Amino acid sequence: MGKVLLSIRYEIQPAKRDEYLSVVKELKSVLKTDGLENYSVFEVKGKANHFEEIYTYSSVQAYEEADDSENERINILINKITEMTAGNSTKYTTLYEVGESN
C-alpha cells in the first residue's frame, strides 16, 4: 500500500507562539504510533506564526487507524494547538501516494 501524507496548515496567535512551540515539542515526543513514520512541523517562510504539520503514514490503513487512537495526552495537546490558532485559518490536505496499490 502507498503512503499517506496529512498536512495541517494554520496561523497561531502571536502571543501564543512560545506556548505553541512547547506543545509541538511535547507532541513530537508522544506521537509514536504504529504506522506513523514521521511527524514534522514547519514554519512558512515569510509568514510569521504560520505553521504546517506533516504526518507521514506507512499506508492508507495506518492513516485510517490513527483516528481511532485513544491516547488522551495526544488529544489534549492537539486541542491546545487548536485553541491557539487564529480564527478559521486551519486547512487540511490529505495526499495519497501514487504508483502504489492503495
What confidence tens digit (pLDDT) does each residue in 68-77 have?
666 788 889 9
Q: How far is CA 71 from CA 15, 31, 32, 33, 81, in A?
A: 28, 9, 10, 10, 16
Is 102's pLDDT higher than 60?
no
| Average pLDDT score over the chain | 89
Q: Per-residue pLDDT for 101 more than 60?
A: no
pLDDT tens for each residue of 29-41: 888 766 789 999 9
Per-residue pLDDT, averaged over 77-90, amounts to 91
Domain ranges for the chain: 4-96
Domain 4-96 matching CATH 3.30.70.100: the answer reads yes
What whole-number percentage of the chain has pLDDT above 90?
67
Bigger pLDDT: 69 vs 2: 2
**pTM (2 d.p.):** 0.86
Distances (CA, A) of 44 to 7, 12, 13, 80: 13, 12, 15, 20
Please report, for residues 5, 36, 85, 90, the alpha-carbon distance to residue 61 in angstroms, rounded to integers and kept in the order given: 12, 11, 29, 25
Integer Cα distance of 96 and 60 in angstroms: 8
